[in-house]
Amino acid sequence: MTPKAKVLALTATALFGASLLGGCATDQQARDMAMDALNKANAAQACCDANQARIDRMYQKIMSK
């Protein structure tokens, strides 16, 4: 499973869980929760991308020796 697929699955799970635990939410609350989950997913993906870039740079440095 790719990192983006994992983040998407976690986001969907978080939204589903929040909707079950939160009971009936208004449309605005649902939008706010979805936006919060999306922001967290984007932050997690940015972290994964930064780590992958760092690993790629280390690999290139090792292979150039």
**According to the model, what pLDDT value does residue 30 have?**
86
Quickly state the pLDDT bin for 19 (edges 50, 70, 90): low
Task: Summarize the confidence of residues 3-16 as an average pLDDT.
Answer: 71
Please state the rounded mean pLDDT for residues 1-22: 68
Query: What is the tens place of the pLDDT at every residue in 37-58?
Result: 999 999 999 999 999 999 999 9
Residues of the chain with pLDDT > 90, as a percent, come to: 48
Cα 7 from Cα 14, distance rounded (Å):
10
Query: What residues contact residue 40 under an 8 Å CB cut-off, 6+ apart?
Result: 11, 14
